[in-house]
Amino acid sequence: MTRTLAAGALLLLVACSAIQAIAPRERWNRKWGPMVPHATFPGDCELCHIPERWDVIKEGFTFDHEAETGTPLVGAHVFAACIRCHNDRGPVAAYIERGCGGCHGDPHRGSLGLECESCHNLDSWEAVGMVADHSRTRFPLFGTHAITACESCHERASVGEFRGVPTQCALCHQDEAAAASPNHIANGWVVNCHQCHTPLSWDAPLFQHEQFPLAGGHAGLQCGQCHPSELFANTPNDCYSCHSVDYLTAADHVALGYSTDCSTCHPITVWADAN
């Protein structure tokens, strides 16, 4: 009798192992917990699954979620895996009653309120309408700021902390100022960035050369051609200071004692032309 029972137990163990090898049982998913509970499903597995693979739904399988459950799947929810909602967290109705927060943990920690729809929609979790909403703050978004990721200015945006961010250009663009050419730091250009730059592009300066209007041959020159040291304070604006070499190498200028006020003979369009 003992040998018979032992042999039967061994045979049962072998049979179970063989069955598991063919159709392994459902396993715990680290991300979502146990797989979709099947307690209330029909016993005919082939209604949904192929015989060879438990984790593969048969081709052509359809499930009308609204007709069967009374809840339509809209937007991105159409493509969500069943176990995102149907897992071990309890009856789906219990956390659907809590709205978006029932399924989606609030990374903002309640600082932005409980109405997720004010920023998100059912098609994408990405926030929408933020540019318009930002106009109600101290820093409306336009130019390149309108397409900049929130985290670029709000380092803790992912946890819902948006307050306390400075609105002064210089406090956000310190790296650009430090690497800029001409040398912004040496020239003391550390504030009032808007005097030269616009929100449309950091590389599009609007500096007004009012103390020495750039016209004629001076237009289009690189800054370094007149300011080789990249220091701009106390730069002389008389012609001879920049054109002394032209004066000294020109025929008869020194011998005949021509005035060093170049403008008495030369226009600002082309140096070779003389009045």
- CA angle centred on 85, ends 39 and 83, rounded to 5°: 65
Q: Is 157 helix (H, G, I), strand (E, B) or coil?
A: helix
Q: Where are the alpha helices (DSSP H) in the chain?
A: 2-22, 65-69, 92-96, 100-103, 130-134, 150-153, 169-172, 174-179, 223-226, 239-249
Residue 252 pLDDT grade (very low, low, confident, very high; cuts 50, 70, 90): confident
Q: What is the DSSP letter of 22?
A: H
Whether the full predicted model's pTM is greater than 0.75, yes or no, is no
- Name the least confident of 24-33, 92-101, 196-205, 206-215: 24-33
The confidence score (pLDDT) of residue 213 equals 82
Is pLDDT above 50 for 55?
yes
d(CA 264, CA 258): 10
Instruction: Give the mean pLDDT of the chain.
Output: 77
Is pLDDT above 60 for 7?
no
Is pLDDT above 80 for 259?
yes
Residue 30 pLDDT grade (very low, low, confident, very high; cuts 50, 70, 90): low
What is the b/e burial string over 57-73, where b = at least 16 CB atoms within 10 angstroms of the residue's CB?
A: eeeeeeeeeeeeeeeeb
